[in-house]
Amino acid sequence: MPKTLIEPFRIKSVEPIRMTTRTERETLLEAAKLNVFKLRAEDVLIDWLTDSGTGAMSSAQWAAIMIGDESYAGARSFFRLEAVLQDITGMSHFIPTHQGRAAEKVLFTAVCKKGDLVPNNCHFDTTRANLEFNGVEAVDLVIPEGLQPSLIHPFKGNIDLARVEEILKKEGHRIPFGMITVTNNTGGGQPVSMASIRAYAQLLKQYGKPFIMDVCRFAENAMFIKLREDGYQNTGIKAICQEMFSYADGCTMSAKKDGMVNIGGFIMLRSDEWLDPVRNMLILTEGFPTYGGLAGRDLEALAVGMEEGMDESYLRYRLRTAEYLGEKLEAAGVGFVKPTGGHAVYIDAKTVLPDMPVEQYPACSLCNALYLEGGIRGVEIGSVMFGRRLEDGTETYHSMELVRLAFPRRMYTQSHFDYAAEVIAEVKINARSIRGVKLIKQPKFLRHFTCECAWA
């Protein structure tokens, strides 16, 4: 058997990349105030800012787009997607939304109240924000291994069951439901084992609490289970997904991830207990229950994408892609969160810039260096994103300085990854010439999106 795992698709439609020189990129980055979010996408060679809604749709999805039923109520496209989702999740009630955070907003507003508490392995930032906006405390209870970047563990997204039980005992009256995020995006795209999901579900049941899963990357999680968990080697991906969903009472999904579409999301619920308040919120903020903020064609594309996202050869290639880049970084002496996750590689900037003081934002500086050296756009997950400027003008800093390279689905080929690995290795060799940054203008919330920087 040849050992190269090829992309399991051919390319039918292409989008040119505009080449730029380093000198041009210096001018472009300075015009963007040293913040890659402010660059125009056409000035980026390899855009690994996010895997959310950025992937390539298949010819079958584009064909499905053409048969979308745009009827306001009772569209055929709704029923087609409903049947697909009922089959995968085993849950009866399908509530479409325009993306993941809308699903969160609708569900949380309908069923949570001020003073509540929701446990999770790690809440994604929009999940946390939507809970906190409703006055709900969002508690992260990932296992301790999940917080150590270089430690190898097969399921670093698992939830710490002892701490869950403790909180159920002490704060049970405040808990409307328990959540788990597969894969754990905030914790490096790390998977959750079936055993952890099953045990967590049992614990919640014992305390009479519903179990809601954040399933944005359910298919990637299922592939990790197949590869790493005893007893699943010969199980099909769909059957693994069906078992995962069988433990839950409901789920929220951003279809921009494993739904393989550019926009979309949904809630699924097993019982009709919450259905009325959820549908009422949906009508108020998203749309009529059979389209929920999406066009009929979006529902069709998602019906096809949900199945394609579970294709085993696609998933094998998908996980291998991240692993492949990880191997090249290892060889170049660049540290990263290990093992590599499903959708991204998280570079540990402190291993490239060990001498740069945190006041100069090493992860942001590395992010800028990757753009200057090779036109690669990643995202800083460090002190620009999570640090704060306090009232007295002092700063707080994040414990980790990471640069996330997140891979759009079915978009970049192996030579793009080879190129990126060369760029990163080159940046590491010339690390001494990387300049730090200082923040010169920042908004009050989510400052990483729009802040302005200058060379330190």
Ligand X SMILES: *Cc1c(COP(=O)(O)O)cnc(C)c1O
Site residues for ligand X per CB under 6 A: 52, 99-101, 124, 126-127, 181, 185, 214, 216, 254, 256-257, 265
Cβ pair 188, 197 in contact under 8 A: no
**Nearest distance in Å: CB 308, ligand X:** 18
Give the up-direction half-sphere exposure of residue 145: CA atoms within 13 A in the CB hemisphere.
15
For ligand X, which is the closer residue by CB, 77 or 181?
Answer: 181
From residue 240, alpha-carbon distances to 187, 200, 381, 425 in Å are 22, 17, 31, 38
**Nearest distance in Å: CB 50, ligand X:** 8
**Nearest distance in Å: CB 120, ligand X:** 10
* CA separation for the pair 214, 211 (Å, rounded): 10
Give the up-direction half-sphere exposure of residue 370: CA atoms within 13 A in the CB hemisphere.
32
For ligand X, which is the closer residue by CB, 305 or 335?
Answer: 305
Chain position whose Cβ is nearest to ligand X: 100
For ligand X, which is the closer residue by CB, 35 or 181?
Answer: 181
For ligand X, which is the closer residue by CB, 156 or 428?
Answer: 156
For ligand X, which is the closer residue by CB, 25 or 257?
Answer: 257
How many residues appear in the chain? 456
For ligand X, which is the closer residue by CB, 43 or 51?
Answer: 51
What SS3 state is found at 254? strand
**Nearest distance in Å: CB 282, ligand X:** 15
For ligand X, which is the closer residue by CB, 61 or 183?
Answer: 183
**Nearest distance in Å: CB 129, ligand X:** 10
**Nearest distance in Å: CB 192, ligand X:** 12
Q: In terms of Cα–Cα distance, which of 280, 250, 274 is closest to 112?
A: 274
Contact partners, residue 427, CB within 8 Å, separation at least 6: 352, 366, 369, 370, 373, 374, 434
For ligand X, which is the closer residue by CB, 216 or 370?
Answer: 216
**Nearest distance in Å: CB 405, ligand X:** 15
Q: In terms of Cα–Cα distance, which of 385, 374, 406, 394 is closest to 451?
A: 385
Cβ pair 179, 212 in contact under 8 A: yes
Residue type, 91: M
* CA separation for the pair 441, 65 (Å, rounded): 43
- Omega before 183 within 30 of 0, i.e. cis: yes
Q: Tokens at residue 86, please?
A: 């009922």
For ligand X, which is the closer residue by CB, 99 or 193?
Answer: 99
Q: Any idea of the CA torsion for 6, 64, 91, 182, to the nearest 10 degrees?
A: 30
Residues β-bridged to residue 139: 119
**Nearest distance in Å: CB 343, ligand X:** 8
**Nearest distance in Å: CB 160, ligand X:** 18
Cβ pair 427, 373 in contact under 8 A: yes
For ligand X, which is the closer residue by CB, 126 or 442?
Answer: 126
**Nearest distance in Å: CB 186, ligand X:** 7
Alpha helices of 332-382 — where are they, by DSSP H? 349-352, 362-374
